[in-house]
Amino acid sequence: MRTDTGEIIHLENYQPTDFILERVDLTFELDPTETKVEARLIFHRRENVDVNAPLVLDGDELKMTGLLLDQETIEPAHYDAAESSLTIRNLPASAPFEITITTEINPEANTTLMGLYRTKNIYCTQCEAEGFRRITYFPDRPDVLAVYTVNIIAEKATAPLLLSNGNFLGGAGMGDGRHFAAWFDPHPKPSYLFALVAGDLGVVEDTFTTMSGRDIALKIYVEHGKEPRAAYAMDALKRSMKWDEDVFGREYDLDIFMIVAVSDFNMGAMENKGLNVFNDKYVLADSETATDADYANIEAIIAHEYFHNWTGNRITCRDWFQLCLKEGLTVYRDHEFSADMRSRAVKRIAEVRHLKSEQFPEDAGPLAHPVRPTKYREINNFYTTTVYEKGSEVTRMIATLLGADLFKKGMDLYFVRHDGQAVTIEDFVRCFEDASGRNLTQFALWYHQAGTPLVSVSVEYDTAKQSLTMALEQMVPATPGQPDKEPMHIPLRFGLLLPNGSEATATSVAGGEVTGDVLHLVERKQTVVFEGISSRPVVSFNRGFSTPINLHFEQSATDRAHIARHESDLFARWQALNDLATPNLVAATESARKGEPASVDPSQVETLLAAAADETLEPAFRAQVLALPSEADIAREIGSNNDPDAIHSGRQQVMTAIAKAGRDVFARLVENMAVSGSFSPDAASAGRRALRNSALSYLVYAENQAERAIKAFRDANNMTDLSQALTILAHRFPHDVSTTEALDEFKIRFEDNALVIDKWFGIQATIPGDGALQRVKALMDDPLFNASNPNRVRSLLGTYAFANPTGFNRPDGEGYRFLAKNILAMDPKNPQLAARILTSMRSWRSLESQRADHARNALRDIAGASKLSADVSDIVERMLK
Ligand code: ARG
Ligand code: ZN
């Protein structure tokens, strides 16, 4: 483990390397505990660099067994091998030279899952961001691009499969029970995209013919016996390859594309050149074991990693501050892909829900940082929803600002201008400026200023003048290190809805730029006047969530209902319904806090039920309407002094009121939305299941009896329905004997399927109320719990801390102390995972004072522990600042 040095890296200190790396030749002699790595690196000194400047390479936990310069031993006086670097002096002034480094590493003992490690007897690597330096000393930074040849030697019986990046050169037996394989990747790449996989795996094969007619071999490697469960991933891969050609004009560039699914992985997946490595959760699916959400995630992540081949690999980041260059853009691309594969509006709603529930709290708390940060202590802690999801929203805004044609022109320019380079956000933005002729300096503040802007609007209609006046004001809140903010360029899409539901268009606009339905808010305060509006319109703001802001606009329930009925933008309709529900939920929380029953506005309930029953709307959309703002959403809305128990109880009461009022609607939906025939994961069928399960859950609320859920559990013929029924049972009737029976039955049936057992842990970890902690503790002692498998840890501890507001935020603080203890136990083994789960406490300051005090103390206990990893100490110190 890399312990914390407290060192902070600053963007402004960026310097290119003194030496240029021309070629990399790697030879691995694989062994579970003593793997030998020989790295032959050809360098030359960059022009104008001091002839005495030494070569400094990065390292982490390495044991070096040999060091040669042009095949001659280097005298000890000419180099220093330290814990995190290797410095070599007396190197040629300008001629190329070869450094040969031999290291010995222990994959079996590598619990960090960074560098070369073992998972279920498979050798596997994860090098992003700084894992390659755990394999050999190397200029381990993304702006060092080189061509790699890789030789892998291993025992043939246990590792018949030897894979690395690029194209296969050849291989053969070696006579001593070992064999070798050689791979060559012609595309220069940074070390974070290096990958090696070796072991015994099954394979699913297919081919894809590219737009220029080249045949690409596609291979997905999974554990033996799981091949049928990779069929959907293969289908998603082929659709991704086609889509990237059709929409972005991007063709694949090697002869082979491989995906390997492994069961121990810190993140979702990794885009290594030609050899993506995946958390098997995002590859394996069949109707019996995967939910509709699992299928959608697989489709999105397969696409995401594939799309990185151009946005990330062909064009990469100059330094890690530019992470959003590849991640924000690639998330935008995978969002667009899913929108084209499924329902665009429903996809957008899901994205915005996710953005608001994960990124908005991050941007409003102690971990807030710009999409393009300027300093970091531990780069692993910057793989955040801000870099990814807000980064994607910023890309989306460029498309909104410029329009589809100019956006495409800018992207094309980016691909041509920067292919083969390691570049910055400034380079990216300049492509759109050059393609459009538009100055994006103010817009670029979205990359540099953290915090969710608050836009306040009021509108006034003058009947005599037939004019509409909008007064807009923007405020970007202070965030760590950024007390004062400049006004941003905010592209706000809007609609003016007339009483008959049609849309008004102004004859003239004064006070601001409006293009199509986009209003450009660029000043701190701006008044925009629309002339020629025949009658008072209802204004629908932020259509499609065109800009990631908090909007403050007082609008009557009648106006919101008008939007919900008439907006042409389906996202805006959903937003209006959500906005109708939110004040009710906030009021119900206040009542619950005073110990009073909640009063629920019947007209709001009616509007909601009307939308749920509206057969002109697609079922998936109606399911989104029925999914009320979450407890975390309500907490965010309230903002401070939060009491999670009151939020929970208030929301339960609102749910019950809706359930009782809508009993008939829900009963009909449960009937009518049944999906007949054999299972299909397509979006339309998934939408019907979602609506039906939501209706079922309301019915159970109305009846307050377990029978229906038990029956649904018995009748289910797919994992979506089965896990939903089990969730309803467990959450509503945790002490019922039928719940215990269902949980036991589920466990026995799926004992051999780790991904399903993760669901079993997750469902129990989210059971609300004060029994949660005891339950989670007991589950940690379950033989199926495995503290070294990241998916399992996330499914129990992660789910408890992130997704069980009442169970985790106990008034006595035991939840926080329990988490702290587990973080400290995990940190020495897997610091990345520990740091990630610890971020679940990022909103602790918005809790009421008793809980906040306990949270602070638990965080201080972590901060005070000795030998923390850089990952955990960075997070804990920022959270306490
Ligand atoms: N680049 C990967 C992706 O597709 C994520 C890898 C993150 N790895 C890490 N160690 N932080 O998003
Ligand atoms: Zn990515």
271 lines ligand 1 (CB under 6 A): yes
Q: Which atom of ligand 1 is nearest to the CA of 304?
A: 4
Sequence-distant (6+) residues with CB within 8 A of 153 are: 27, 28, 29, 30, 174, 178, 179, 180
Q: Are the C-beta atoms of 244 and 310 separated by less than 8 Å? A: yes
Q: What is the ipTM of this complex?
A: 0.98
Cβ–ligand 1 contact at 305 (below 6 Å): yes
In ligand 1, which atom is closest to the CA atom of 114?
A: 10
Whether 129 is in the pocket of ligand 1, judged by its Cβ within 6 Å, is yes
**Closest residue to atom 11 of ligand 1, CA basis:** 380
pLDDT of res. 1? 64
Q: Determine the distance separating the centroid of ligand 2 and the alpha carbon of 374, expressed in angstroms.
A: 20
Closest atom of ligand 1 relative to the 305 alpha carbon: 4
Torsion of CA 404, 406, 411, 415, to 10 degrees: 140
Ligand 1 pocket test: pick from 127, 128, 130, 140 the residue with the most ligand atoms within 8 Å of its Cβ: 128
Catalytic-residue membership of 305: yes
* CB distance 294 to ligand 1 below 6 Å: no
Between CA 63 and CA 101 the distance in angstroms is 11
Tokens of 835: 């740091």
Mean pLDDT of 624-643: 97
Ligand 1 atom having least distance to the Cα of 308: 4
CB of 267 within 6 A of ligand 1: the answer is yes
Cβ neighbors of 356 (< 8 A, separation 6 or more) are 633, 636
pLDDT of residue 83: 85
Q: Confirm or reject: Cβ of 334 under 6 Å from ligand 1.
A: no
Q: What is the mean pLDDT of residues 565-579?
A: 96
| 325 touches 444 (CB < 8 A) | no
At 814-871, the pLDDT tens digits run: 999 999 999 999 999 999 999 999 999 999 999 999 999 999 999 999 999 999 999 9
How much is the average pLDDT of 482-486? Answer: 98
73 Cα: distance to centroid of ligand 1 (angstroms): 37
Query: HSE (CB half, 13 Å, CA atoms) of 510?
Result: 6
Host H or E run for residue 475? strand 467-475
Residue 292 Cβ contacting ligand 1 at under 6 Å: no
> Residue-wise over 342-367: b if at least 16 C-beta within 10 A, else e?
bbbbbbbbbbbbebbbbbbbbbbbbb
Closest to 293 in 3D by CA, of 718, 797, 784 = 718
Ligand number nearest CA of 331 is: 2
Reading the block at residue 58, the tokens are 């990065």
Cα–ligand 1 centroid distance for 13 (angstroms): 24
Q: Give DSSP secondary structure letters for 556-571.
A: -HHHHHHHHHH-SSHH
Render pLDDT for 99-142 as a digit per residue (tens, 0 to 9): 999 999 999 999 999 999 999 999 999 999 999 999 999 999 99
- 578-587 mean pLDDT: 95
Q: CA-based Rg of the chain, rounded to a whole angstrom? A: 28
C-beta 389 within 6 A of ligand 1: no
- How many angstroms is it from 381 CA to the middle of ligand 1? 11
Of 110, 306, 383, 869, best ligand 1 pocket probe by most atoms within 8 Å of the beta carbon: 383
How far away, in angstroms, is 835 Cα from ligand 2 center? 19
Nearest ligand to residue 320 Cα: 1
Nearest ligand to the CA of 329 is 2
What is the 184 CA–ligand 1 centroid distance (Å)? Answer: 23
Which is nearest to 612 in space by CA: 572, 532, 669? 669
3-state secondary structure of 632: helix
CA–centroid distance, residue 604 to ligand 2 (Å): 40
The verdict on the CB of residue 820 being under 6 Å from ligand 1 is no
Strands (E) located in 621-664:
none
Q: Which of 112, 133, 191, 267 to mutate to test the pocket of ligand 1 (most atoms within 8 A of CB)?
A: 267
Q: Which atom of ligand 1 is nearest to the CA of 126?
A: 10
Closest ligand 1 atom number to CA of residue 388:
12
Helix/strand/coil for 244? helix
What is the whole-number distance in angstroms between the Cα of residue 422 and the centre of ligand 2? 16
Q: Which ligand is nearest to the CA of 790?
A: 1
Return the percentage of the chain with pLDDT > 70, whole number. 100
259: CA distance to ligand 2 center in Å?
15
| Residue closest by Cα to atom 5 of ligand 1 | 270
Ligand 1 centroid to Cα of residue 383, in Å, is: 7
Q: Is the pLDDT of residue 880 over 80?
A: yes
* Residue 380 CB–ligand 1 contact under 6 Å: yes
Residue-wise pLDDT tens digits, 297-329: 999 999 999 999 999 999 999 999 999 999 999
Write the pLDDT tens digit of every residue in 228-280. 999 999 999 999 999 999 999 999 999 999 999 999 999 999 999 999 999 99
Which residue's CA is the nearest one to ligand 1's atom 2?
A: 270
pLDDT at 2: 67
Atom 1 of ligand 1: nearest residue by CA position: 270
- Which ligand 1 atom is the nearest neighbour of the CA of 270? 2
The residue annotated as part of the active site, out of 223, 299, 305, 362, is 305
Which ligand 1 atom minimizes the distance to the CA of 131? Answer: 10
Using the atom order of ligand 1, give the atom closest to the CA of residue 379: 11
Tell me the three state secondary structure of residue 818: helix
Ligand nearest to the CA of 268: 1
Instruction: Considering every ligand atom shown, identify the ligand nearest to the alpha carbon of residue 327 and give its number.
Output: 2
- Across the range 203-229, mean pLDDT stands at 98
pLDDT in tens, 701-740: 999 999 999 999 999 999 999 999 999 999 999 999 999 9
The answer on pLDDT for 171 being more than 80 is: yes
Predicted confidence (pLDDT) per residue in 45-54, tens digit: 999 999 999 9
Among 270, 275, 322, 388, name the best residue to mutate to test ligand 1's pocket (greatest count of ligand atoms within 8 A of Cβ): 270
Question: Within 13 Å, how many C-alpha atoms sit on residue 864's CB side?
Answer: 7
Confidence (pTM): 0.98
- In this structure, which ligand is nearest to the CA of 126? 1
Q: How far is the CA of 430 from the centre of ligand 2 (A)?
A: 22
Token code pair at residue 776: 């989670």
Q: How far is the CA of 789 from the centre of ligand 1 (A)?
A: 17
* Whether pLDDT at 4 is above 80: no
Q: Where are the alpha helices (DSSP H) in 115-202?
A: none
Share above pLDDT 90 across residues of the chain, in percent, rounded to a whole number = 99
How far apart (Å, rounded) are the C-alpha atoms in residues 875 and 229? 37
Contact 101, 136 (CB under 8 A): yes
Is the CB–ligand 1 distance for residue 384 below 6 Å? no
270 lines ligand 1 (CB under 6 A): yes
Ligand 1: residue whose CA is nearest its atom 8: 128
Q: What is the DSSP letter of 679?
A: -
Q: Which ligand is nearest to the CA of 279?
A: 1
Q: Is the CB of 185 under 6 A from ligand 1?
A: no
Of 111, 20, 3, nearest in space to 790 by CA? 111
Q: Token pair 């329902």 is at which residue?
A: 343
Taking each continuous run of H as one helix and of E as one strand, the counts in the chain are: 30, 33
How far away, in angstroms, is 356 Cα from ligand 1 center?
22
Q: How far apart are CA 169 and CA 517, in angstroms?
A: 55
* Distance in Å, CA 597 to ligand 2 centroid: 46
